[in-house]
Amino acid sequence: IGDKIENLCNRHFYSNFQFLGNVGYDVRIHDAVLSKQIFIHRYPYTPPAIDINKIAEKIINNKQQVLLTEKIS
């Protein structure tokens, strides 16, 4: 479904959105929010925390790629 939303947004907002991944559901996210704790710090080895880390890595890698491309140009 993420790819479909990406295509829809790119078409209607005339921009270049990139789908980076899904974040799975976990009831502990709600618990972390209520206790004002950072979810990935409180539950670092849960599937949603791993999903968030993977998305963050994609953002960092993409930023590094952009910087490399700008440096070469």
* Strand, coil or helix: 17: coil
Q: How many domains, the chain?
A: 1
pTM: 0.75
d(CA 42, CA 34): 12
- At 15, the pLDDT band (50, 70, 90 cuts) reads confident
Burial (CB count within 10 angstroms: exposed 0-12, middle 13-18, buried 19+), residue 58: middle
The dihedral of CA 51, 57, 61, 62: what is its sign?
Answer: positive
Domain carrying residue 32:
2-72
User: According to the model, what pLDDT value does residue 67 have?
Assistant: 64
How crowded is residue 51: how many other Cβ atoms within 10 Å of its Cβ? 17
H or E element that contains 72? helix 47-72
pLDDT per position as a tens digit, 27-70: 999 999 999 999 999 999 999 999 999 999 999 988 777 666 66
